[in-house]
Structure 1
Amino acid sequence: MTKENQDFLTLADALAELNRKRLAQDADALCYAPSTAYGYAAAGRIPAERRGRAYFVRRSDLPVVAARLPLGGRARAPSAA
């Protein structure tokens, strides 16, 4: 594999890597949602390249992707007090 191809990750792999790093620091941390990331990539809000049906990001752009994506969270049901 050439150096250029090793620099690119699929968006799903990039999110998995970012989420692993967050969870390694804090097991209860919020993670990045794939659906949000794909929407941001389609809108041009994160640096990504579309090739066919897939989005790719450069490994060097991971900090930018992490800074621009919001963290997901679970919807909390109101307590029945």
Structure 2
Amino acid sequence: MPAKNHDLLTLTDALAELNRARLEKDANASLHAPSTGYGYASTGRIPAERRGRHYFVRRCDLPLIASRLPVGRRRHTSPSAA
């Protein structure tokens, strides 16, 4: 059985990993949006390679990707008058 290449991650898995790391540091942290990640990958703003329908990133590029991707804002809901 061939060995898996653990160096490549799908962009979705990479964003999930980056968001988990942000939440471990601060439970109220803003997160990276998948739609923004895919937009940045398609325009070449973050290093990614496309294979078929999916984008892949190298695990070693995660710090660079985290520094280039903006984080979304948390939406705070106001207490509703019930």
Q: Which runs of 5+ in 2 are unaligned?
A: 78-82
TM-score, with structure 1 as normaliser: 0.87
4+ residue segments displaced more than 4 Å: none
Amino acid paired to 2:30: L
Which of the two has greater helix per residue? 1
Distance between the aligned counterparts of 2:26 and 2:72, measured in 1? 15
Identity of aligned residues (%): 67
Q: Which has the higher Rg, Structure 1 or Structure 2?
A: 2
CA RMSD, Structure 1 to Structure 2 (Å) = 1.8
Mapped to 2, the partners of 1:74 and 1:67 lie a distance apart of 19
Q: Which residue of 1 aligns with 2:37?
A: 37
In structure 1, the gaps of 5 or more residues are: none
Q: Which moved more, 1:66-75 or 1:44-53?
A: 66-75
The whole-number CA distance in structure 2 between the counterparts of 1:52 and 1:38 is 14
| Residue 49 of structure 1, CA deviation | 0.3
- Aligned pair count? 77
